[in-house]
Amino acid sequence: MAETADVVIIGSGIVGSSVAYHLAEHGCTNVLVIEREAHQGKGSTGKSMGGVRAQFSTPVNIQMSRYSIDFFSHFDEVMDHPADYRPHGYLFCATNERHLEYLKTNRELQASLGVTNVELVTQQQISEFVPQLRVDDIIGGTFCGTDGFVDPHSVMTGFMLQARSRGVKLWLDTTVTRIETGPTRHVSGVVTSRGNVSTRTVVDAAGPWAAEVAAMAGATLPVEPLRRQLVPTEPFMGLPQRFPMVIDMSTGFHFRREGKGILLAWNDPQEKPGFNSDFDPGFIEKILTRAADRVPCLADAGVNPRRAWAGLYEMTPDHHAIIGRSPEVDGLYFVNGFSGHGVMHSPASGRIAADVILRGYSDLIDATQLAPERFSEGRLLHETAVL
Ligand SMILES: Cc1cc2nc3c(=O)[nH]c(=O)nc-3n(C[C@H](O)[C@H](O)[C@H](O)COP(=O)(O)OP(=O)(O)OC[C@H]3O[C@@H](n4cnc5c(N)ncnc54)[C@H](O)[C@@H]3O)c2cc1C
């Protein structure tokens, strides 16, 4: 007999897993998650830097972070699984008045939305966090002590284990090849490499591949993949054992400790949208130049190119997630386009998506802000604090 499900979720990364968990939490347990890889976490989730922060510049991102960070702080008890949430903070460092004003404005907005622990810090305070930092041109910054890091793979696993314990099914090694719609343009099922599944509701949680999945139903979705590269150093004891994520706003270079080494990140503005996720060895020199400029002792850090990696961001035109029902195909929902924030916003996005699917609205945020129609209606959001 053909399989049926109340909801089919395409993609079992951190976002699909969170949607599955939140649906099950709301009592919707006849849910099937379909993942083409043999293991979870092979998409963007397994490539992430694991950063979580509330220091954003738009209300919707701040609200989603606030909910999510609180969720991460209770994750281990609630999910009976570790999130490895480390509230080591994010430290933004400004080298010009424009950036400092921007941080101050954001801080006021963050406080008005309940994130009251973002501190303005002086050059002197910044160098106390990381004495090895070159601070001669830094004029100040902001620090939020509840920002920090999680283990994305562990969070994803925790969501899925809890979802499955409530009855959600997970099909691995199964590719969705088509989304079927009836004459009224309502979803009627999906075709997969393991057979057909009847369903009236499909959730596209396919990360960087979300637009391809939308197209399977004849829907359009402005989500583009963009390569993003990370470089870990060999064990390096020239920096403190514990320090925040440090962001050099003059270049966008940022770094944090990862075990015995340091994880170096920088968003190369020359990167063009596409599915190429091979690591480019030429990136190492680019990032080390910026690293050594801000932290001179990092010039001595060893780097093994074989340990560096690349993955794909899922970019939208306004760098905000798309969460909501498709205006073109009834029964099709989107939860994607996180533009680099899908790990940190996974608790909120799963909750908002489950609310919208089951009730048509969310009381966590005004979800219409993230609806896909905002692009055709010219209601774009503007987030400039993208790392
Ligand atoms: C290098 C890097 C660093 C990052 N750092 C951070 C960070 O510090 N903080 C943060 O919050 N975010 C970060 N991100 C972004 C974050 O990783 C993503 O936003 C998040 O993982 C998206 O999760 P997802 O579940 O939507 O997508 P994915 O994890 O990509 O999951 C989508 C899944 O869909 C499956 N799939 C696709 N098509 C099909 C199909 N037809 N049939 C079946 N299955 C299908 C894929 O196999 C995949 O497993 C980073 C990303 C990268 C690449």
The verdict on the CB of residue 42 being under 6 Å from ligand 1 is yes
pLDDT, position 34: 98
E strands, 202-260, are: 202-204, 224-232, 245-248, 254-258
Task: Examine the pLDDT at 386 and tell me if it is beyond 60.
Answer: no
- Average pLDDT for 171-180: 98
Question: Atom 37 of ligand 1 has which residue's CA nearest to it?
Answer: 206
Tell me phi and psi for residue 229, to 5 degrees. Answer: -115, 145
The verdict on the CB of residue 336 being under 6 Å from ligand 1 is yes
pLDDT tens string 3-33:
999 999 999 999 999 999 999 999 999 999 9
Length of the chain, in residues: 387
With H, G, I as helix, E, B as strand and everything else as coil, classify residue 333. strand
- Angle, vertex CA 74, rays to CA 72 and CA 75, nearest 5: 60
pLDDT, position 2: 77
Mutation choice for ligand 1 from 343, 344, 346, 383, CB with most ligand atoms inside 8 A:
343
Question: Atom 19 of ligand 1 has which residue's CA nearest to it?
Answer: 342
Pairing of strands 148-149, 309-315: unpaired
Question: Atom 21 of ligand 1 has which residue's CA nearest to it?
Answer: 45
Confidence of residue 55 (pLDDT cuts 50, 70, 90): very high
pLDDT tens string 91-146:
999 999 999 999 999 999 999 999 999 999 999 999 999 999 999 999 999 999 99
Task: Examine the pLDDT at 1 and tell me if it is beyond 90.
Answer: no
Mutation choice for ligand 1 from 48, 72, 271, 386, CB with most ligand atoms inside 8 A:
48
Cα–ligand 1 centroid distance for 230 (angstroms): 15
Atom number in ligand 1 closest to CA 175 = 42
Task: Examine the pLDDT at 382 and tell me if it is beyond 90.
Answer: no
The verdict on the CB of residue 225 being under 6 Å from ligand 1 is no
Question: Atom 53 of ligand 1 has which residue's CA nearest to it?
Answer: 311
Atom number in ligand 1 closest to CA 51 = 8
Question: Atom 9 of ligand 1 has which residue's CA nearest to it?
Answer: 51
The verdict on the CB of residue 153 being under 6 Å from ligand 1 is no
pLDDT tens string 295-327:
999 999 999 999 999 999 999 999 999 999 999
With H, G, I as helix, E, B as strand and everything else as coil, classify residue 281. coil
Question: Atom 18 of ligand 1 has which residue's CA nearest to it?
Answer: 342
Cα–ligand 1 centroid distance for 273 (angstroms): 15
Cα–ligand 1 centroid distance for 197 (angstroms): 24
Letter for the amino acid at 196? Answer: N
CB 207 within 8 A of CB 15: yes
- Angle, vertex CA 89, rays to CA 83 and CA 94, nearest 5: 145
Atom number in ligand 1 closest to CA 16 = 25
- Average pLDDT for 348-368: 97
Question: Atom 50 of ligand 1 has which residue's CA nearest to it?
Answer: 48
Compute the mean pLDDT over every residue in the chain, rounded to the nearest whole number.
96
Phi-psi region of 299 (alpha: psi -120 to 50; beta: other; left: phi over 0): alpha
Cα–ligand 1 centroid distance for 100 (angstroms): 32
